[in-house]
Structure 1
């Protein structure tokens, strides 16, 4: 036990960090390994899911993502981010999007029926990018696999293999590739806050994030009670977004409006 504690102490000290919002975080998996996990998962998705063929939709998704990514260094200067990003539109009717470590962003065509404008699409993509910037996948993988298993994964012990399905779930991707899984409530709320700042500073109207979730509520129908779900329910989410507008709207007013419909 003493050897185990001595072995993990340096990694624990390195892993204790703060997210871009200042929340304390324990994320023990090296970022290079998380990037590999993200890239491998994305390759699997591209092999199993058809890519969308609509050129205008593809350009729109690429445009929105590029504007958001361009604002990351200024908005969250301390956040670790990939040097390059790949954005893919998938021919899937499920209204989902996701971002993975290693700079991979996927958007399902079904989302474009719910996110009915550039601004609403930016609310979703900005939220997903925020999960990556805040290392939520790393944090969840550390929690779900446990410290000792993480140490096996990073090679401090001689046995133990990473569970592929646990890794996918930690990254927010389900067993059926393309189905996004909910992060914890705290992760979702943090990604909402960061995504809202990011979209506003990039020139997307943050008020449209509220309309997006109203669209989601209309498309999704009845939801389970909030305490039974890790996702905030739509009403709670909308209320939290409304409360953040006082700090977020000035960022939008200082930015140049974006038009990705051209």
Structure 2
């Protein structure tokens, strides 16, 4: 009986196996795209009802402009690589929020929020594209779905994998609050893993390069983030890889990215 149960779990995990665009990394996604989008949109809308939007029209327009260019390049990549079916999962929005925190976050479906406190570190649109590309990459790689799937397995084990489990939808909704966590803390409560962060760095650099931005500025941007990270950890940095490791990884990947994707 135990062998049958193990086989059942293995088959369900296999059915939920997917690959991340650009990196090809295998991931297990046990939650449907629709479940993820529905739960995340609820969280996002609740947050936007109370979040004060920036009154700086010029900076808000810049965030929207950079976001739309990167989103367009991302969609062009998906179409060109047989992933056009994924486009239905995105309804892009790029918002600048009036908040002094050095922060930005992404919700599934392409809902991306940048905080005004981050803009002093992004002197150019290219530097802002580093942040926006990184957040777009989280959405394209379905990192939130992967986190939620991992939490479902950790909390419910094999039982939650069965489609007939009566509390599956309730479990997904409950986990959404933890996984997305926008609201009082204004950001992601359950941090992305370092694996996800490195992957988002890599994919984000590619997306910004495809959009016509200069990926080399990523090194300087993260150096500025590091220099401002003396004594206290900005929210945007708190769950991310250490500065030196991140910068080294970016420097390692830049020649390949520029050779393959620079216009």
| TM over 0.5, shorter chain | yes
Q: Larger % of helix: which?
A: 2
Q: Does 1:179 align with 2:181?
A: no
Count of residues in correspondence between the two structures: 249
Distance in 1, matches of 2:95 and 2:161, equals 29
Q: Does 1:112 align with 2:112?
A: no
Cα displacement (A) at 1:136: 0.8
Query: SS of the residue aligned with 1:211?
Result: helix
Distance 1:163 1:14, change over 3 A: closer
Distance in 2, matches of 1:252 and 1:13, equals 32
Distance 1:46 1:158, change over 3 A: same
Alpha-carbon RMSD across the aligned residues, in angstroms, is 2.7
Q: Deviations over 1:192-220 (max 9, x none)?
A: 11001111111111011111111111222
From 57, 60, 68, the counterpart of 2:59? 57
Cα displacement (A) at 1:65: 0.3
Distance in 2, matches of 1:196 and 1:145, equals 31
Distance in 1, matches of 2:53 and 2:105, equals 15
Distance in 1, matches of 2:161 and 2:112, equals 25
Q: Give matches, 1:185-224, under 5 Å.
A: 185-222=194-231
Unaligned runs of 5+ in 1: 255-262
Unaligned runs of 5+ in 2: none
Query: SS of the residue aligned with 1:40?
Result: helix
Q: Taking structure 1 as the reference length, what is the TM-score of the superposition?
A: 0.84
Distance in 1, matches of 2:45 and 2:239, equals 28
Cα displacement (A) at 1:22: 0.8
Distance 1:248 1:159, change over 3 A: closer
Distance in 2, matches of 1:204 and 1:31, equals 30
Q: Taking structure 2 as the reference length, what is the TM-score of the superposition?
A: 0.83
Distance in 2, matches of 1:78 and 1:44, equals 34
From 83, 88, 91, the counterpart of 2:95? 88
Q: Give matches, 1:23-42, under 5 Å.
A: 23-42=25-44
Distance in 2, matches of 1:177 and 1:133, equals 24
Partners of 2:222 and 2:243 within 8 A in 1: yes
Distance in 2, matches of 1:151 and 1:105, equals 33
Q: Does 1:102 align with 2:109?
A: yes
Cα displacement (A) at 1:129: 0.9
Distance in 1, matches of 2:158 and 2:126, equals 38
Distance 1:154 1:201, change over 3 A: farther
Distance in 2, matches of 1:102 and 1:169, equals 18
